[in-house]
Amino acid sequence: MNRRTALTTSLVASAAIFLGSSVGANQTDEASQATLDTAMAFMEAMGKGDMEAMSALMADDMVWHNEGDKSMPWIGPWEGKDAIFKFLGVFSSNLQTTLWETENAFASGDTAAFFGKMNGTTTESGQDIGEFTFALRVKVRDGQVILWNWFEDSYAVSNAYHGK
């Protein structure tokens, strides 16, 4: 193989590797954006109370997971659409959200994360929880939410719920 052929082969191989890497990076970015878009659409539908849109964005095997004081009726996990919609009814009748601010959101592949602050009043005691931070991990498959994993100051929420 002469130098010219070797150089041409090397340049073509380098270009193929570069273009392949670029396409892979764009696909990852597109997948991450699609995940973020799906998670945000679900959050928006929930905020509007649009159960039809929520249902379309939920996988049949979706899991809603939040931990905390099991004496509060909305602590899960909840698995499947029917159980999640039942949970949402219980949750909304027990907690009135008075503040919700998402401060950061990002996605990587099939996972999105949200961070912010919120507040609410529990109907059990009528007590204000006090402003607290939250984190949310969302997993998406084929344009539908498969996991909604909620993290909050469950101690503060439990104290407010029990009127402490």
CA–CA gap between residue 59 and residue 88 (Å, rounded): 16
In the numeric block, the tokens 């607290």 are attached to: 132
8: which 2 tokens?
Answer: 């041409």
- Digit-coded pLDDT (tens) for 81-118: 999 999 999 988 888 999 989 999 999 999 999 999 99
pLDDT score of 33: 95
pLDDT score of 60: 97
Which of 3.10.450.50, 2.60.120.10, 3.40.1260.10, 3.40.640.10 is the CATH number of 3-161? 3.10.450.50
pLDDT score of 159: 92
Its pTM stands at 0.78
Going from N- to C-terminal start, the domains of the chain cover 3-161
pLDDT score of 23: 39
Summary mean pLDDT of the chain? 84
Element containing residue 11 per DSSP (H, E): helix 3-48
- Listing from the earlier edge strand, what are the strands of the sheet with 132-141? 78-79, 58-66, 144-152, 132-141, 111-122, 95-108
- Digit-coded pLDDT (tens) for 115-148: 999 999 999 899 999 999 999 999 999 999 999 9
